[in-house]
């Protein structure tokens, strides 16, 4: 993970709260809410205010080191983000978040929307829901019995 290089390059200190929050996110397969991150840090004996967690997440998000995704109930949570054009797919069963590359993903749709609305499309938000391989296995196992 080169997030430390990215922060240093952009002139940000690798402060203890930033480091600790990134560590929590690096260890998580599912998106975490600020409250969940706060709880995990408390369990590890790292005393940090919830407001600082929010503030740090805002910074990490603006630096594109972290992304907001939504669980199947549409609750927002934070996951690590790699650089470049990509999106996330979220498992509807276990809420695991995985990245996929976004190269030219919705070109056709954008052209159609531009033609239909006369807007110029500048950006997009995209997230997919599905069933991850592990959960598919569990479902199949159950089906066999």
CB 79 within 8 A of CB 69: yes
Stretch that binds Zn ion, among 35-43, 59-67, 103-111, 114-122 (CB under 5 A): 103-111
Stretch that binds Zn ion, among 1-9, 28-36, 68-76, 132-140 (CB under 5 A): 132-140
Judged by CB under 5 A, the residue of 19, 30, 102, 113 near Zn ion is 102
- Which of 77, 98, 96 has its CA nearest to residue 135? 96
Judged by CB under 5 A, the residue of 51, 94, 109, 121 near Zn ion is 94
In the complex, minimum distance from the CB of residue 118 to Zn ion, in angstroms, rounded to a whole number = 22
Helix (H) or strand (E) holding 137: helix 133-144
Spatial separation of the C-alpha atoms in residues 96 and 90, rounded to whole Å: 6
Judged by CB under 5 A, the residue of 23, 71, 99, 105 near Zn ion is 105
Stretch that binds Zn ion, among 24-32, 43-51, 64-72, 130-138 (CB under 5 A): 130-138
What burial letters (b/e) apply to 125-141, b meaning 16+ CB within 10 Å? Answer: eeeeeebbeebeeeeee
Q: In terms of CB distance, is 23 or 99 closer to Zn ion? A: 99
Tokens 């159609």 map to which residue? Answer: 112
Tokens of residue 143, six digits? 């089906």
Stretch that binds Zn ion, among 36-44, 45-53, 73-81, 99-107 (CB under 5 A): 99-107
Spatial separation of the C-alpha atoms in residues 18 and 16, rounded to whole Å: 5
In the complex, minimum distance from the CB of residue 19 to Zn ion, in angstroms, rounded to a whole number = 29
Applying CB under 5 A, the residues found at the interface with Zn ion are 91, 93-94, 96, 102, 105, 132, 135
């Amino acid at each position: 993970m080169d997030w430390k290089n990215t922060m240093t390059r952009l002139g940000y200190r690798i402060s203890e709260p930033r480091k600790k929050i990134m560590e929590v996110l690096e260890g998580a397969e599912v998106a975490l809410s600020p409250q969940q991150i706060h709880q995990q840090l408390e369990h590890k004996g790292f005393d940090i205010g919830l407001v600082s967690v929010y503030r740090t997440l805002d910074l990490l998000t603006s630096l594109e080191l972290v992304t907001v995704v939504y669980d199947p109930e549409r609750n927002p949570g934070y996951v690590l983000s790699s650089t470049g054009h990509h999106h996330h797919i979220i498992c509807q069963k276990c809420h695991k978040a995985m990245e996929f590359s976004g190269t030219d993903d919705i070109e056709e749709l954008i052209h159609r929307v531009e033609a239909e609305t006369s807007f110029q499309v500048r950006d997009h938000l995209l997230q997919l829901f599905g069933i991850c391989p592990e959960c598919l296995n569990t479902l199949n196992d159950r089906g066999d019995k």
